[in-house]
Structure 1
Amino acid sequence: MRRLIVSAFASLDGIMQAPGGPEEDPTGGFTLGGWMFNYWDEAMDLSTSGFDGKDRELLLGRRTYEIFEAHWPYQPDEDPMARRLNAAKKYVASRTLTRLHWNNSTLLHGDVASAIIALKAQPGPDLQVIGSGNLIQTLQAASLIDEYNLWTFPVVLGRGKRLFGETARPCALRLVRSQVSTTGVVMSTYVPGGDIRAGSFASAEPSEKELARRKKMANERR
């Protein structure tokens, strides 16, 4: 079975909306687009983390597909990233699109999770998700992601679309690789680590004050 790999740029507080420019995704009144630009380091290897789709098939959500479709086919052939993305086979998860105009693109029909389970079972290269925040929520909840390539930028945005939303399934991750750019971007690779194993540093015999505090907090909404 082939792997499903997610690659994403995120702020320190987990926002992944519009990293590349102000016009990329202003939905919800987001005005901080382009937040990763001033942290770019030419030594950052997009290919190693799958951001160029090299040797993989792409799996995209509707918004990311539309962003890519409006940009990459119009870049010069001399651009190696454009060549790879344009040539790659692409699967698009959308409830609203009926036709796809970017070459080598296929629309997924029916239940997205079921369609992706079927794709993973087919022979072929690994499946690569780039951006596609809403799709990531679905994939994570269904435990379909085999690897995360997460580039965390040293900015706090406070608002916008999050990599992991409130509906995320609790789970543990295991760090397998990490490095830091000259501009402070932490480039990490994680794989699933099973269920969360809880523990406690609390005393085995809590004080009456501690028991009262716990009871008080259990009744507080926030």
Structure 2
Amino acid sequence: MRRLIASTFVSLDGIMQAPGGPEEDPTGGFTFGGWMFRYADESMDLSAAGFDGKDRELVLGRRTYEIFEAYWPYQPEDDPIAKTLNAAKKYVASRTLTALQWNNSTLLRGDVVQAIIALKSQPGPDLQIIGSGNLIHTLQAASLIDEYNVWTFPVVLGRGKRLFDGTAKPSALKLIRSQVSTTGVVMSTYIPEGDIRPGSFVNGEPSEKELARRKSMKKGTW
């Protein structure tokens, strides 16, 4: 079974909206589009993290597909990222689109979870999600994502669309790779590691103060 890999840029507070430019996605009154621009440097290997889709098939949400469709086919033919993305096979999750104009694009119809399960079971290269926050939310909740490439930029945005929201399935992750760019971007790769296993640093019996605090919590007065 082939893997499903998600790659995304996020701020320190987990915002993934419009990293590339002001007009990319200003929905919801988001005014910080292009927040990752000044942190780019030569140590960032976009291909290794799957951001160019090299040797993979793409799985995209509708909004990310439309952003890419309106940009990458119009870049110079010698642009290596454009060349790779334009040639890649693309699967698009959408309830509203009826036709896709970008070459090698296929619309995923019906339930997206079942569609991705079917794609993963087919022979072929690994599947790569780029951006596509709503799609990540759905597939993370269904435990279908096998690897996360998360590049965390040293900015706090305070508002915007988040990588993980209230629908996220609680789960543990294992860090398997990490590197820091010269501009302070932490480029990390995680894989799922099962359920969260809580514990406690508290030893011995709770004090009277602690028991009183817990009582206040139960009453809703803490």
**For residue 127 of structure 1, what is the aligned residue in structure 2?**
127
Alpha-carbon separation, structure 1, partners of 2:47 and 2:174: 22
SS at match of 1:217: helix
Q: Structure 1 221/196 Cα, relative in aligned 2: closer, same or farther at 3 Å?
A: farther
**For residue 79 of structure 1, what is the aligned residue in structure 2?**
79
Letter in 1 for 2:180: V
**For residue 116 of structure 1, what is the aligned residue in structure 2?**
116
**For residue 30 of structure 1, what is the aligned residue in structure 2?**
30
Alpha-carbon separation, structure 2, partners of 1:218 and 1:35: 42
Alpha-carbon separation, structure 1, partners of 2:213 and 2:203: 14
Higher deviation after alignment, 143-152 or 205-214: 205-214
SS at match of 1:59: strand
Q: Extract unaligned runs of 5+ from structure 1.
A: none
**For residue 101 of structure 1, what is the aligned residue in structure 2?**
101
**For residue 139 of structure 1, what is the aligned residue in structure 2?**
139
Higher deviation after alignment, 140-149 or 208-217: 208-217
Deviation at residue 217 of structure 1 after TM alignment: 2.7
Letter in 2 for 1:198: P
Deviation at residue 212 of structure 1 after TM alignment: 1.4
**For residue 202 of structure 2, what is the aligned residue in structure 1?**
202
Deviation at residue 219 of structure 1 after TM alignment: 4.2
Over the aligned positions, Cα root-mean-square deviation in angstroms equals 1.2
Listed as ranges, the matches of 1:1-222 within 5 Å are: 1-220=1-220
Question: TM-score with structure 2 length normalisation?
Answer: 0.98
Alpha-carbon separation, structure 2, partners of 1:6 and 1:131: 8
Runs of 4+ residues over 6 Å off in structure 1: none
Deviation at residue 202 of structure 1 after TM alignment: 1.5
| Matched residue count | 222
Higher deviation after alignment, 210-219 or 69-78: 210-219
Q: Structure 1 221/135 Cα, relative in aligned 2: closer, same or farther at 3 Å?
A: farther
SS at match of 2:177: strand
Alpha-carbon separation, structure 1, partners of 2:19 and 2:193: 28
Letter in 2 for 1:148: Y
Deviation at residue 187 of structure 1 after TM alignment: 0.2
Alpha-carbon separation, structure 1, partners of 2:73 and 2:219: 56
Alpha-carbon separation, structure 2, partners of 1:172 and 1:111: 26
Alpha-carbon separation, structure 2, partners of 1:219 and 1:102: 58
Deviation at residue 221 of structure 1 after TM alignment: 9.0
Higher deviation after alignment, 201-210 or 71-80: 201-210
Question: TM-score with structure 1 length normalisation?
Answer: 0.98
SS at match of 1:199: coil
SS at match of 2:212: helix
Alpha-carbon separation, structure 2, partners of 1:59 and 1:198: 33
Q: Structure 1 139/221 Cα, relative in aligned 2: closer, same or farther at 3 Å?
A: farther
Q: Extract unaligned runs of 5+ from structure 2.
A: none
Higher deviation after alignment, 59-68 or 42-51: 42-51
Alignment deviations for residues 71-105 of structure 1 (CA, whole Å, 9 cap, x no partner): 00000110010000000000000011011000000
Alignment deviations for residues 44-86 of structure 1 (CA, whole Å, 9 cap, x no partner): 1000000000000000000000000000000011001000000
Letter in 2 for 1:173: L
Alpha-carbon separation, structure 2, partners of 1:107 and 1:25: 22
Alpha-carbon separation, structure 1, partners of 2:170 and 2:179: 25
Deviation at residue 216 of structure 1 after TM alignment: 1.9
